[in-house]
């Protein structure tokens, strides 16, 4: 996603977050966070959906805490480089990471992933859930799933789809869709959403799969056409886009998520301090609306609640991966 946050938008949000410099100074003494610059690691390039959301959240966090909040893009390997950096960061409350489930699921699909999400990092709070979007190129003249299936039958040499992260659910969802349609679909890996959107817009590939946060603005601009998503019900940001479940494919029901993590061994008091600030910011009406517009259905949690959710989801995802027959890369 390439939508950026303007200075005017940031300052408007900052004004909503706090009423005065005096209030900022008072809050800075009350947060329980370290009295130094704070850093949020992002495992994807600037301008993508994850980065845009993290940068948007950084401004009200800065205003609430009185600390400088920096975004550090450590992109590569579907986000695992950033999580490894978090794992190796000091557990002193200065560094956290904004991480999608597409990165965490790599632990099930790549033997060499350099972290264990259950032991090497600690959840702070869920930020929200996100659906996977299946989109098509506007050049193929398809607007609905039935039209796409008919198009596939007429074009047997174009049964491929681009994925923003090989070995994640932006890959598996496309494969699962092909199995449900009875038309095998072949994944083609891309280095993120931007090059995939460019190829879809140009007609170089017929279809693509990725988080709706990466495609929604491009869908609205006519660069791609999202024809269905992976939720049980339509995402709040785009109620007009049907889900695969609504279209008669209930097995294609998978929700991803975005979570804030800290290094393992971070003291509980610092986890609580971060959680209090993040949950407060995420519940601000202006923040909720912006994130919803970007495709995230905002939802928060305690660390224990999210740990239970991650445990359950990883077990389900492993079953799905085994059913597909995908073998972890070495």
Give all domains of the chain, ordered by start, each with its CATH number. Answer: 7-129+257-322 (3.40.190.150), 131-229 (3.40.190.10)
DSSP conformation letters of 233-272: S--TT-TTSPBTTTTT-TT---EEEEEEEEETT--HHHHH
pTM above 0.85, yes or no: no
Residue 11 has pLDDT above 60, yes or no: no
Nearest alpha carbon to residue 103 among 186, 177, 185, 42: 42
pLDDT confidence bin for 27, thresholds 50/70/90:
low
Q: Cβ neighbours of residue 223 under 8 Å, at least 6 residues apart?
A: 138, 197, 200, 201
For the ranges 25-29, 87-91, 213-217, the lowest mean pLDDT is seen at: 25-29
pLDDT per residue as tens digits for the range 139-162: 999 999 999 999 999 999 999 999
Q: Cβ neighbours of residue 106 under 8 Å, at least 6 residues apart?
A: 77, 78, 79, 80, 113, 167, 168
pLDDT per residue as tens digits for the range 163-201: 987 788 889 999 999 999 999 999 999 877 889 999 999
Residue 30 has pLDDT above 90, yes or no: no
Percent of the chain with pLDDT over 70: 90
Residues in the chain: 330
């Amino acid at each position: 996603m390439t939508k950026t946050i303007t200075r005017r938008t940031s300052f408007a949000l900052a004004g909503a977050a706090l009423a005065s410099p005096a209030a900022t100074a008072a809050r800075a003494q009350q947060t329980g966070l370290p009295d130094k610059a704070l850093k949020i690691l992002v495992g994807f390039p600037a301008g993508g959906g994850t980065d845009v959301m993290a940068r948007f959240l950084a401004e009200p966090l800065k205003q609430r805490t009185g600390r400088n909040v920096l975004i550090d893009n450590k992109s590569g390997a579907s986000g695992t480089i950033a999580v490894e950096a978090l794992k190796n960061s000091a557990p002193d409350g200065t560094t956290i990471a904004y991480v999608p489930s597409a990165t965490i699921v790599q632990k099930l699909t790549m033997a060499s992933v350099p972290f264990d999400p259950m032991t090497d990092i600690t959840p702070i709070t869920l930020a929200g859930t996100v659906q996977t979007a299946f989109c098509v190129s506007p050049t193929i003249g398809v607007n609905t799933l039935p039209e796409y299936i008919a198009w596939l039958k007429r074009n047997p040499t174009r049964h491929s789809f681009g994925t923003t992260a090989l070995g994640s659910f932006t890959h598996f969802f496309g494969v699962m869709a092909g199995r449900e349609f009875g038309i095998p679909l072949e994944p083609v890996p891309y280095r993120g959403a931007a090059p995939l959107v460019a190829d879809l817009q140009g007609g170089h590939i017929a279809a693509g799969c990725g988080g709706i946060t990466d495609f929604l603005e491009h869908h609205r601009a006519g660069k791609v056409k999202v024809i269905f998503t992976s939720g049980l019900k339509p995402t709040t940001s785009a109620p007009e886009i049907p889900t695969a479940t609504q279209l008669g494919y209930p097995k294609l029901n998978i929700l991803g998520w975005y979570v804030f993590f800290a290094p393992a061994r971070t003291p509980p008091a610092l986890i609580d301090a971060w959680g209090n600030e993040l949950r407060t910011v995420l519940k601000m009406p202006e923040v909720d609306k912006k994130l919803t517009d970007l495709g995230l259905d905002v939802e928060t949690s305690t660390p224990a609640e999210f740990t239970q959710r991650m445990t359950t989801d990883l077990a389900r995802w492993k079953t799905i991966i085994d059913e597909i027959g995908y073998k972890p890369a070495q």
